[in-house]
């Protein structure tokens, strides 16, 4: 990788994004396929990736994500930066053309001779056009324009990357909300069985066939379940507030949309994820890093050309008249043209140090690009393996829950018949509640892993210009 950096820093021609991507991929060793893909390799479905949240079949989620992409403050800031950098490019491009200044001046004087009682008044008016132009003799300014173009392309990709991150954050917060609601429902459903157990122990104690210990143990189990409810309600409120924040709105403004509990979003069928090379082309952060390298290299070459001579042309066209109204029919016209050719001789190492600065910035941009590529590959692999492992966990939890429900039913009957101790029945109830909560959490984790997969693949942005 170090040899690649050195070679690219010394290249005389501009390296295109595709060439850079290929060289980095070769140096990093980008694999030809994903290690943990769950289905046969197919080309990436970029159209479905653009609006991947629609695959969760939840209209509320669709509405919130769409609104957030339109109103989120960070996305709006990223969009404003595009306008800013478009103007920055205009400033650099303007330096390629001559400048023309217009100056207007007037002068008047009055003198009085008291001896002959004569007053003399004189006036003169001048206008001048002053053109100036630094000829881009060796392409230094064109390189600066090229760097400005790369900067603009980078901030455009940053805008797309902000959309990718926002869509994933909104979907994750939405899953957290529905997960907390589902866990609350599980706890509420378990309260019926626990209340029945408390009532049975109280009746037994009153009838003399039970004791106070059993009654208090059953009450303790009931209150333990109730104690989990405030925390879950807190999580629900915080998730709602997080969604309003991501949507660029005030707390409570989405309550009408979110107040009705809904099931966890359905995990979509596997998306055609393509190969690693397609992901590197799709991800806006990777594309932004490419443009950052291109900008840094262009500035390095521009700094190197500071050593070359410069050619400046300037001139003036002046008009003088005795009256302001006669400026367009002047008595005298004067013009001049001046050309200057200058080359740096001694600058105490300023140019050399400037070149070193730009070279190191280009080196840093290349290293950052390499890091972005490695991060992208790791994120996809992590998301793929997470989806697989959560699916496996859900299979085991389903079997455990089925057995736990049967245990609760059997232990309840046996306790009523006096065949087992109360603690066995209570323990079975706790086990079932714990397993049901684990199932809800794991389903939410699997949905979140799918969201992270779509984010890692670079989904959530539209290819058209903002």
- Of 188-197, 275-284, 301-310, 368-377, which range is least confident? 188-197
- Of 138-147, 270-279, 331-340, 352-361, which range is least confident? 331-340
Residues 187 and 201 in one domain: yes
Contact by Cβ (8 Å): 420, 455: no
**What's the CA gap between 304 and 442, in Å, rounded?**
57
In a domain, 463, yes or no: no
Q: Vertex 141, ends 146 and 285: CA angle to 5°?
A: 25
Residues 113 and 84 in one domain: no
**What's the CA gap between 318 and 331, in Å, rounded?**
11
Tens-place pLDDT, residues 164-195: 999 999 999 999 999 999 999 998 888 887 78
In a domain, 436, yes or no: yes
- pTM, 2 dp: 0.85
pLDDT of residue 149: 95
Say if residue 466's pLDDT is above 50.
no
Say if residue 71's pLDDT is above 90.
yes
pLDDT of residue 207: 73
In a domain, 321, yes or no: yes
Copy the structure tokens of residue 115: 């001896």
In a domain, 464, yes or no: no
In a domain, 39, yes or no: yes
Number of domains in the chain: 2
Domain with 427 in it: what CATH number?
1.20.1600.10
Tens-place pLDDT, residues 72-129: 999 999 999 999 999 999 999 999 998 888 877 667 666 666 666 666 666 666 777 7
> Residue range 217-238: average pLDDT?
88
Contact by Cβ (8 Å): 284, 157: yes
Tens-place pLDDT, residues 352-409: 999 999 999 999 999 999 999 999 999 999 999 999 999 999 999 999 999 999 988 8
Average pLDDT score, the chain: 84
- Domain span at 102: 97-135+309-342
> Residue range 327-339: average pLDDT?
64
- Of 15-24, 192-201, 364-373, which range is least confident? 15-24
Say if residue 288's pLDDT is above 80.
yes
Q: Vertex 296, ends 93 and 374: CA angle to 5°?
A: 135
Residues 119 and 240 in one domain: no
In a domain, 51, yes or no: yes
Please tell me which residue, 30 or 92, carries the higher pLDDT value.
Answer: 92
pLDDT of residue 12: 41
Residues 363 and 416 in one domain: yes
Contact by Cβ (8 Å): 9, 304: no
Domain with 336 in it: what CATH number?
2.20.200
**What's the CA gap between 287 and 16, in Å, rounded?**
12
Residues 117 and 251 in one domain: no
pLDDT of residue 341: 81
Residues 326 and 178 in one domain: no
Say if residue 9's pLDDT is above 90.
no
Is residue 312 helix, strand or coil? strand
pLDDT of residue 13: 43
Residues 422 and 379 in one domain: yes
Packed helices 140-207 and 350-416: angle between N→C axes, nearest 10 degrees = 20
Say if residue 267's pLDDT is above 90.
no
In a domain, 348, yes or no: no
Say if residue 14's pLDDT is above 50.
no
Residues 288 and 173 in one domain: yes
Name the band, by pLDDT with cuts 50, 70 and 90, for residue 464: low
User: Which residue from 173, 188, 179, 167 is spatially nearest to 263, judged by alpha carbons?
Assistant: 179
The owner of tokens 């039913």 is 409
Radius of gyration of the chain (CA): 37
Contact by Cβ (8 Å): 151, 288: no
Q: In what order do the strands lie in the sheet with 118-135?
A: 99-113, 118-135, 310-321, 332-342
Residues 115 and 224 in one domain: no
Contact by Cβ (8 Å): 36, 384: yes
In a domain, 465, yes or no: no
Strand partners, 136: none
**DSSP states of 112-180:** EETTTTEEEEEEEEEEEEEEEEEE-TTSHHHHHHHHHHHHHHHHHHHHHHHHHHHHHHHHHHHHHHHHH
Tens-place pLDDT, residues 40-59: 567 777 888 889 999 999 99
């Amino acid at each position: 990788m170090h040899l690649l950096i050195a070679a690219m820093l010394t290249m005389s021609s501009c390296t295109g994004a595709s060439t850079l991507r290929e060289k980095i991929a070769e140096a990093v060793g980008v694999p030809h396929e994903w290690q943990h893909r769950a289905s046969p390799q197919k080309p990436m479905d970029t159209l479905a990736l653009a609006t991947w949240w629609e695959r969760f079949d939840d209209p509320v989620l669709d509405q919130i994500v769409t609104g957030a992409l339109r109103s989120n403050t960070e996305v709006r800031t990223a969009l404003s930066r595009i306008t800013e950098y478009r103007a920055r490019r205009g400033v650099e491009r303007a330096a390629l053309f001559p400048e023309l200044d217009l100056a207007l001046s007037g002068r008047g004087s009055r003198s009085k001779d008291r001896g002959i009682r004569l007053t003399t008044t004189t006036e003169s008016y001048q206008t001048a056009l002053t053109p100036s132009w630094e000829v881009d003799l060796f392409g230094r300014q064109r390189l600066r324009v090229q760097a400005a173009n790369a900067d603009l392309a980078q901030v455009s990709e940053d805008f797309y990357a902000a959309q990718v991150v926002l869509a994933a954050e909104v979907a994750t917060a939405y899953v957290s909300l529905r997960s907390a609601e589902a866990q609350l429902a599980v706890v509420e459903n378990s309260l019926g069985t626990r209340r029945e157990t408390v009532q049975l122990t109280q009746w037994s104690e009153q009838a003399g066939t039970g004791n106070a210990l059993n009654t208090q143990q059953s009450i303790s189990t009931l209150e333990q379940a109730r104690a989990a409810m405030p925390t879950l309600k807190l999580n629900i409120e915080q998730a709602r507030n997080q969604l309003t924040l991501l949507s660029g709105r005030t707390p409570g403004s989405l309550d009408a949309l979110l107040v009705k509990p809904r099931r966890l979003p359905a995990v979509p069928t596997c998306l055609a994820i393509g190969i690693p090379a397609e992901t590197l082309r799709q991800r806006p952060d990777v594309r932004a890093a490419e443009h950052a390298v291109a900008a840094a290299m262009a500035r390095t070459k521009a700094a190197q050309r500071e050593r070359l001579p410069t050619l400046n042309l300037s001139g003036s066209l002046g008009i003088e008249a005795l009256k302001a109204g006669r400026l367009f029919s002047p008595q005298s016209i004067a013009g001049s043209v001046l050309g200057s050719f200058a080359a740096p001789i001694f600058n105490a190492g300023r140019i050399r140090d400037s070149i070193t600065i730009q070279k190191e910035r280009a080196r840093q941009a290349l290293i950052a690009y390499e890091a972005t590529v490695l991060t992208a590959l790791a994120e996809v692999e992590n998301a793929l393996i997470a989806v697989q492992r959560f699916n496996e966990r859900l299979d085991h939890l389903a079997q455990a829950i089925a057995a736990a429900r049967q245990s609760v039913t059997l232990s309840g009957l046996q306790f009523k018949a006096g065949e087992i101790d109360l603690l066995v029945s209570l323990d079975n109830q706790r086990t079932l509640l714990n397993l049901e909560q684990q199932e809800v959490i794991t389903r939410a984790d699997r949905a979140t892993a799918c969201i992270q997969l779509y984010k890692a693949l670079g989904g959530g942005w539209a290819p058209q210009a903002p």
